[in-house]
Amino acid sequence: MAKLEQKENKDIRPPVVVILGHIDHGKSTLIDYIRKTNVTGTEAGGITQHASAYEIIHTSKDGQSKHITFLDTPGHAAFESMRTRCANVADIAALVVSAEDGVKPQTLEVFKYIKECSLPYLVVITKIDKPSADIERTKQNLAENEIYVEGYGGNTPIIELSAKTGKGVEEFLDMIGLMAELEEKTADKDALGSGIIIESRRDAKRGIIAVGIIKDGTIRQGLFAATMAGQAASNGTIAPMRLLLDADGNTVEELTFSSPVQIVGWNKIPSVGAKFKTFLKKDEALAFAASTSGIVEVPTQSKTGVGKEITVLPIVLKADTAGSLEAIIGEIYKLSREKIEPKIILSSVGNINENDVKSAQTTPGTIIIGFNIKVDLQAANLAERSDITITLFSVIYELTDKIKEFLTEKEPKTEVEEIESTSKVIRLFGTSKGKQVLGGRVLSGILKCGAFIKIIRREAEIGHGKVKELQQFKIAIDSTNQGAEFGALVESKTEIAPGDILNAIVLVTK
């Protein structure tokens, strides 16, 4: 009975909706329209590269005003972990599919997450205003990939909309409201607030800021926030909540469940995906931070097997947020090659500073990579004096392309033998002091005067030599092609016989 009363005292929790889908299928543009802002216009390259949270108030057709929190996720393949994390935080997923392109690789990837999380979802077909839009073909394409919507073998709700004209957006929001009512998520407004960290960054003026989604209770100024330690950390993180910001960056005194919150003043960067709680006393927060969460942090060490000889490209990596850092580290380690691999010797969130350059100095050949950040003046001066390369990027695929170039430049080069031509000895005319005059035919390739040759008899190498002179019809020539007969003076200590094969060898650097 007590449990029933406790449940009845809880409040209905507004839905947290994650927007998932392939890159450039209109996820951020949809949120732009809903928020009447221009988020995608501020993203480098016009693609989303961060997890973002936004809260709106939607007035339904019956006049009721309801809160909805949206999580926008990157569609680029590199941000798989970020999408997975946001899917775990959300109550409802909106699977976005372009009416122009249909189902794409990341569409299937995020659909897999939705199914694994047993997350209620609806399908949103975007870009219906485009001349090349084909809604019916898109629905068929969904069914072909076992995504069954209403009218096409399933009961999954489907909304057709244009984020450019706004057509269908109200229906989309109404459907979110209906699905939220069916889910009936509840939370206790009087409890101390807790939730999940979805992103964290370092602000030059305010210090470390973490963006979280409140899953239960209320967060207030004056409390202490804390996250537990990951397996690779000596301790978790804490923040005295002297300053709270909402999703738009406005200062607030308190926020409650489902709202995005920006908590300012952490003692170090909280792990993305970490659960946070709030406490009345600092000692309680410290005790929680000292416990272990079991979160496995992203490795920053080489993945090469122990004892394997391989050249490394040392990298100091700095990024604007913890989520970006995680994604970039994962992409960099995918670039490993047989002879060389990247090795991140230092990675952290924030601008490139003098200590980063000093860390690079300790390992010869280190490059410094920055993503969506700046370089401190002292760091830039020290790097120039030390001849250390600093390269800045704002788009992730440009960053990985550049690292590929660095790897190519530094990859160890080896010389390998390649057969330039193969010839068969037809007759031997004479020998004198290690020089042999013979006639032959070029079986393949081009035989050149001066070529180094290997002498093959019954498929076994018996010696080597050099073509000193080459003739055709008693006229000296520089080379002869496949199918042609020739006369040659070969310098070799090995006695050559008719039927032997002469392989002309060249050394090629690879």
Q: Are 245 and 226 in contact (CB under 8 A)?
A: no
Q: Are 299 and 347 in contact (CB under 8 A)?
A: no
**Residue 327 tokens, joined:** 């994604």
Q: What pLDDT does residue 62 have? A: 76
How far apart (Å, rounded) are the C-alpha atoms in residues 433 and 450?
Answer: 18
Q: Are 261 and 244 in contact (CB under 8 A)?
A: yes
Mean pLDDT across 492-510:
91
Question: Would you kindly state where each structural domain of the chain is located, as residue ranges?
Answer: 12-186, 194-290, 311-410, 415-509
Lowest mean pLDDT among 184-193, 242-251, 291-300, 411-420: 291-300
User: Do the domains 311-410 and 415-509 sit in the same CATH topology, yes or no?
Assistant: no
Q: Per-residue pLDDT for 231 more than 80?
A: no
How many residues are recorded in the chain?
Answer: 510
How far apart (Å, rounded) are the C-alpha atoms in residues 105 and 42?
Answer: 25
* pLDDT range class, residue 5, cuts 50, 70, 90: very low
Q: Per-residue pLDDT for 48 more than 60?
A: no
Q: What pLDDT does residue 63 have? A: 78
- pLDDT tens for each residue of 374-418: 999 999 999 999 999 999 998 888 899 999 999 988 888 887 889
* Superfamily of domain 194-290 in the CATH hierarchy: Translation factors (2.40.30.10)
- Give 204-239 as a 3 state SS string: CCCEEEEEEEEEECEEECCCEEEECECCCCCCCEEE
Give the long-range contacts of residues 431-437, CB within 8 A, separation 24 or more: 431/495, 434/491, 434/492, 434/493, 435/468, 435/489, 435/490, 435/491, 436/489, 436/490, 436/492, 436/495, 436/496, 437/487, 437/488, 437/489, 437/490
| CATH architecture assignment, domain 415-509 | Beta Barrel (2.40)
**Residue 279 tokens, joined:** 């406490």
Mean pLDDT across 114-137:
90
Q: What pLDDT does residue 272 have? A: 81
Q: Per-residue pLDDT for 460 more than 90?
A: yes
Lowest mean pLDDT among 148-157, 206-215, 297-306, 357-366: 297-306
First to last CA, the chain: 77
Q: Report DSSP state, residue 126.
A: E
Q: What pLDDT does residue 508 have? A: 85
Summary mean pLDDT of the chain: 85
Q: Give the closest residue to 295 by CA, choosing from 227, 238, 349.
A: 227
Q: Give the closest residue to 85 by CA, choosing from 64, 106, 113, 57.
A: 113
- pLDDT tens for each residue of 210-221: 989 999 999 999
- pLDDT tens for each residue of 135-162: 999 999 999 999 999 988 889 999 999 9
- pLDDT tens for each residue of 64-88: 888 899 887 654 444 355 445 555 6
Q: Per-residue pLDDT for 283 more than 60?
A: yes
Lowest mean pLDDT among 38-52, 101-115, 199-213: 38-52
Q: Per-residue pLDDT for 295 more than 80?
A: no
Mean pLDDT across 472-488:
93
Q: Per-residue pLDDT for 465 more than 90?
A: yes
* pLDDT range class, residue 235, cuts 50, 70, 90: low
Lowest mean pLDDT among 158-172, 260-274, 295-309: 295-309
Specify the CATH class of 12-186 in words.
alpha beta
* pLDDT range class, residue 52, cuts 50, 70, 90: confident
How far apart (Å, rounded) are the C-alpha atoms in residues 240 and 280?
Answer: 10
Q: Per-residue pLDDT for 134 more than 90?
A: yes
Specify the CATH class of 311-410 in words.
alpha beta
